[in-house]
A and B are shown apart, each in its own frame.
Chain A
């Protein structure tokens, strides 16, 4: 099966009401959640009920009111992934080993949660540990950038013929709102090293990220001055009418795709201001600081506040084969300050209880310190953090040995982390998509959420 083939009924963008239920003109793979239609849920719960509601009402008729309420609540959930591209050192962040042969020069400092110490390079985050659970026992085995990044983004390795969606696409699929005027999945990655665009895999292009690589503002999304607002609306209406007429006679994926793309563009044009940090008060901008990462974290807050369910901010480049300690002094200062500002800002706005903030990269760094004072790739015993929504803060889960060579307690793999993230968001990690006749659980087969870090 070609997994790049766009997906079908249940996770396609909403079709015009007249076309709902129309059979496709040719057989195509079906990705269908087992159980109820979530599209029906989301559509029904939209504030502005549209014509598509009637088409999907049957899907929600049998559901209990509590389930609907729960589903409604789900829509407020968001994720910000702080992607530490290249692989941050667990020794210089979440799992310090001061005074050991492998520990490096930095000390461990106490946090505001008794018994939990982290690197002295994260002094601000140390005072916000009540929001955060650290997982110190990741053993993900793969230590080359490309394959490891794919593993940690998707929670599993691709199988032959199947390209799995990354966590952003899954969250966009599960938490995105069809009527939303804002994108479902935004990925900021302006450095060039290790840049990855993200993948929606078999979920299809509808859940691909809006990928900002050259600047922090989407390019070419403003209406040209040569076209008036009225002309712009008229053009959209004409395009809609033509598309509806065409699909009423012969439904076709290409038309769906075009229509979806235009709808998203219209949404993006309306959300251009969200990417403009100049619209924030100077005091708020100062709080996040002057670095690019700080500005991107501020944009992430603006986006989730506006309802974007998944925002990835990639901060390059932690791949410290040379001068690991200089690299971490620089980059940890950035992470520490910007993430602290983000947590505070989300908390003060009442958003943190509905927003999960993740720090993750493709792997950690070796216990051994090489001749360039660097640490190399290491996936056998490393760390990540989860803060905010659905997380039991003030927890350090798992344990590595004295010098950080291996996990000795609470070993977790990529699938387990993926399952944990989904469960924190209230999404059943065992929920299955049907890819043709093949059931695909949201997290990898056999994965288990780490209950100890869940609220």
Chain B
């Protein structure tokens, strides 16, 4: 088991710039529900998960019999869809619109903001210095919170509440750049905003309309949207994940889709579609040195794919259990842990 860490670095580790040639499932652990989000704990082999049983779980992959258990009797009132960790504090967000601050040593709630958002929280992102957490929700607002005090620092509402076809829109994805200077958000209709979190100034607007998946004729609805975002280490490149054109919108059978931009110039570098492993790209991470990109998601089944950023070509790929909702990449780029439908899987690259 390789160490995991994609939250603020606790120490410097050797990074793997080399392009992975394989994706190999190492260990699969059954979960007592659906894992929607994951962040590494202080112990390198341990993860914290947001689950469908409304609880925060902890799972140690190096345990003799790895088992996912709630860290506390206390829970959200709905699915937990976002979690970040800063030191010994975790912050979680859920479909109940609440943010909860957790003491990871005791499992006690430090703070709870019940109406952090008026609708369902979709994702959280931690600033690289570990002092801020950004939240996005279906009230179409992006909020910035102070980790230490819980104070609301900023509240931006510049997305449309409704889609162009008159239906409720959704704000699915948020990501900080590794230098902390930029915050990207993406919605159901394929609109991406990159802003300066210091003052909220929007520096760029990108569009990925294919990811909207609106079907006006056969089914008269959509199930797509931007589901994942990731900045490169130099903060110049932004990867956007979702699903491409879908024929049967009853199922997640559209091709998985990634668009990669040099965001300041709004130049699209790569447009990647994978007809082999279909469904949503739920999470993205750049590998060390910005030479490659890892994507994970799926339809019923899950996948992990590695793309060479030099040419946008697939470098390695593997089916990984059930649909993957999130993963955490070890800072050395040697391994990752996925969470998804009733499974957590450690994967070697």
A interface residues with partner B (beta carbon < 8 Å): 86, 98-99, 101, 105-107, 190-193, 289-294, 315-317, 319-323, 326-327, 329-331, 333-334, 369-374
Is A105 touching B79 in the complex (CB atoms < 8 A)?
yes
Of chain B, the residue at the smallest CB distance from A337 is B166
Q: Which residues of B contact A374 (CB under 8 A)?
A: 251
- Complex Cα spacing A326 to B219, Å: 14
Contacts of A190 in B (CB 8 A): 220
Which of B78, B250, B301 lies in contact with A107, CB distance below 8 A?
A: B78
Binary interface encoding of chain B residues 214-226 relative to chain A, with 1 for a CB under 8 A from any of its CBs, else 0:
0001111111010
Chain A residue at smallest Cβ distance from B323? A371
Chain B window 299-336, contacts with chain A (Cβ cutoff 8 Å), 1 for yes, 0 for no: 11100000000000000000000110000000000000
Can you give 28 A-B contacts (C-beta < 8 A)? A86-B219, A105-B94, A107-B78, A190-B220, A192-B217, A193-B218, A291-B165, A291-B167, A292-B220, A294-B166, A317-B218, A319-B250, A321-B251, A322-B223, A322-B252, A322-B279, A322-B299, A327-B223, A329-B168, A330-B221, A331-B221, A333-B167, A370-B341, A371-B300, A371-B301, A371-B340, A372-B251, A374-B251
Complex Cα distance A99/B77, Å?
A: 8
| A372 in contact with B300 (CB, 8 Å) | yes
B138 interface hit (Cβ, 8 Å): yes
Contacts of B167 in A (CB 8 A): 291, 330, 333-334
Q: Mark B140-180, 1 if CB is under 8 A from A, else 0.
A: 00000000000000000000000001111010000000000
- Sample of 14 more A-B contacts, CB < 8 Å, known A193-B219, A320-B250, A372-B299: A107-B96, A190-B220, A191-B219, A192-B217, A294-B166, A316-B219, A317-B218, A322-B251, A326-B170, A330-B221, A369-B52, A370-B300, A370-B341, A372-B251
Which residues of B approach A to under 8 Å, CB–CB? 33-34, 52-54, 77-79, 94-96, 120, 138, 165-168, 170, 217-223, 225, 249-253, 279, 298-301, 322-323, 340-342
Q: A106 CA to B220 CA in the complex, in Å? A: 23
- Shortest Cβ gap from A284 to chain B (Å): 16
Q: How far is the CA of A191 from the CA of B220 in the complex (A)?
A: 6
Partner of A333 from B168, B250, B299 at Cβ < 8 Å: B168
Chain A proximity of B251: nearest CB distance (Å):
4
For residue B53, which residues in chain A have a CB less than 8 angstroms away from its CB? 101
Q: Interface of chain A, helix or strand or loop or mixed?
A: loop
Whose C-beta in chain A lies nearest to the C-beta of B252? A322
Given A193-B219, A316-B220, verify A323-B252 contact (CB < 8 Å): yes
Contact of B250 among A292, A322, A331 (CB under 8 A): A322
In the assembled complex, the Cα of A101 lies from the Cα of B54 at a distance in Å of 10
Question: Which of A290, A315, A326, A371 has the most B CB atoms < 10 Å from its CB?
Answer: A371
Q: Verify A291–B250 contact, CB threshold 8 A.
A: no
Give the residues in chain A near B79, CB-CB below 8 Å: 105
Measured CB to CB, the nearest residue on chain A to B80 is A105
CB distance from B220 to the nearest CB of A (A): 5
Min Cβ gap B159→A in Å is 16
The CA-CA distance from A316 to B218 in the complex, in Å, is 8
With a cutoff of 8 Å between Cβ atoms, the chain A residues found around residue B168 in the complex are 329-330, 333
Contact between A327 and B300 (Cβ–Cβ < 8 Å)?
Answer: no
Give B338 Cβ to nearest chain A Cβ, in Å. 13
Given the complex of chains A and B, what is the CA–CA distance between A193 and B249 in angstroms?
10
- Contacting pair A191 B138 (CB below 8 A): no
**Ranked 10 nearest A-B pairs via Cβ:** A317-B219, A105-B95, A371-B341, A105-B79, A322-B252, A290-B166, A323-B223, A193-B218, A371-B300, A291-B166
Instruction: For A192, give the chain B residue with the smallest CB separation.
Output: B218
A106–B78 alpha-carbon span in the complex (Å):
7
A331 to B250, CA, bound (A): 13
Q: Which residues of A contact B301 (CB under 8 A)?
A: 371
Q: Chain B residues with Cβ under 8 A from A98's Cβ? A: 78
Q: Report which of A86, A292, A326, A369 forms a contact with B223, defined as CB distance below 8 A.
A: A326
Most A Cβ at <10 Å: residue of B250, B253, B322: B250
Distance to closest chain B CB from A105 (angstroms): 4
With a CB–CB cut-off of 8 A, which chain B residues contact A321?
A: 250-251
CB distance from A100 to the nearest CB of B (A): 10
Q: A333-B167, A372-B299 are in contact. Are A317 and B220 (CB under 8 A)?
A: yes
Give CA–CA (A319, B252) in the complex, Å.
12
In angstroms, Cα B323 to Cα A370, docked, is 10
Q: For B223, what are the chain A residues with a Cβ–Cβ distance below 8 Å? A: 322-323, 326-327
Residues of B within 8 A of A316 (CB): 218-220
Q: Looking across the interface, which residue of chain A has its beta carbon closest to that of B246?
A: A322
Contacts of A86 in B (CB 8 A): 219, 250
Q: Please report the C-alpha to C-alpha distance between residue A105 and residue B33 in the assembled complex, in whole angstroms.
A: 12
